[in-house]
Copies of this chain bind each other. A is one copy, B any other.
Amino acid sequence: MPAGEKNYDPNFTQHVIDTCGPNTSPRMKQVFGAAMRALHNFAREIDLTPEEWLAGVQFFNETGKIWAESEGKRNEMHRLSDITGLESLVTEIANYVQTDDPNYSPTSAAILGPFWSPNAPWRELGDSIIQDPHEGTVTYMHGIIRDLKTQKPIPNVTFDMWQASSNGKYDFQDFPNQSDNNLRGKYKTDENGEYRLYCLRPTAYSLPQDGPSWKLLQALDRHPMRPAHIHLKVTHDDYKPVVTQIYPKDDPWLSTDTVFAVKDDLVVDFVPIKEIPASMSEHKGPGGKATKELQLDIVLAPKGMAAHSGPKL
């Protein structure tokens, strides 16, 4: 039934908003006003029933309960905002740039997700992030980080990356099978703006098949799969950071990623390896020699270029 067909009290929502006192911050008032209009219009549009509302209260309670009982280790509320596209949308908003320049295209952002670690170790260029045995494909990954404006390589960029192992689990989800910081590492680009390292060709994995997010996915007849991906956080003091993910182009879940994080320029090609450059030694860690290669250049926008930054609460 279309919204507005019924004569619900037309003043109700504004009345709720108007109870805000004079000491509400302008941003809080803006957020609360928009939230109330969205919430109330939603309820009126679909004639939300008392049973559905109570089911919603219960659903959110169960979602918070998992966070409480896991002592913060399992954040289903965060996951819920991922499978509804909210984190991806917030990422788009935060990285939005209004410009008329058709050449203005730094590497696209994608969601950080819950598995980044502030404790990833620094590694030397050419080193591997693979510490533990796996069933994946060792990959030689390399590329140049460039300045959007000058197209010149940028030395001394922090290239922070992390990925799940071939079983679809990150190190701290998989104790004691994986050691701390397996498949994580931070590198600095060299004087030519280049990074080079060994990692795994990533593996697609499922979100947990229990808990509130899984319950919602089932009710929506949706699959719980994330396409295979590698996480990147590329930073330099003089540039806007790029937090993103890359995806192999032949992954079957690209168009229906359960957290909606795929963008066209983030889809990459893992090719059979040709040769390892002189600056690298052969991979000697778990999995042996590399059989795939990925070349990935990254483009960073200098700070101060026409930029969008959201207002603060």
**A46: which B residues are within 8 A, CB to CB?**
30-31, 34
A23 touches B221 (CB 8 A): yes
**A249 sits at the interface (CB 8 A):** no
Bound together, the chains give a CA A312 to CA B46 distance in angstroms of 11
**Which of these, B12, B25, B94, contacts A85 with CB under 8 Å?**
B12
Select the residue from A44, A57, A65, A69 with max chain B CB neighbours within 10 A. Answer: A57
Docked pose: A46 CA to B38 CA in angstroms:
12
Known: A6-B98, A84-B39, A260-B15. A24 touches B220 (CB 8 A): yes
Among the 9-residue stretches A73-81, A141-149, A272-280, the one with 4 or more Cβ atoms under 8 Å from chain B is: A73-81
Q: Which of chain B's residues has its CB closest to A91's CB?
A: B50
Q: Hey, which chain B residues are within 8 Å of A22, CB to CB?
A: 221
Q: Any chain B CB within 8 A of the CB of A136?
A: no
A51 touches B260 (CB 8 A): no
Closest CB in chain B relative to A34 CB, distance in Å: 5
Instruction: Report how far A290 CA is from B250 CA in the complex, Å.
Output: 81
Interface assignment of A305: CB less than 8 Å from any CB of chain B: no
Q: How far is the CB of A307 from chain B (nearest CB, A)?
A: 13
Is A93 part of the contact surface with B, judged by Cβ < 8 Å? yes
Neighbouring B residues of A84 by C-beta, 8 Å: 16, 35-36, 39
* A contacts with B: majority SS: helix
Q: How far is the CA of A232 from the CA of B73 in the complex (A)?
A: 44
| Interface assignment of A53: CB less than 8 Å from any CB of chain B | yes
B78 engages A43 (CB within 8 Å): no
Residues in chain B near residue A28, CB distance under 8 A: 219-220
19 extra interface residue pairs, beta carbon distance < 8 Å, beyond A19-B222, A43-B89, A43-B90 = A12-B89, A12-B260, A13-B85, A21-B222, A23-B221, A24-B219, A30-B46, A34-B46, A36-B84, A38-B42, A50-B91, A51-B312, A53-B86, A57-B77, A57-B81, A60-B60, A60-B64, A64-B65, A65-B67
A-B pairs with beta carbons under 8 Å apart, 11 shown: A8-B92, A12-B88, A20-B221, A28-B220, A47-B310, A48-B89, A50-B90, A53-B86, A55-B313, A64-B77, A65-B68
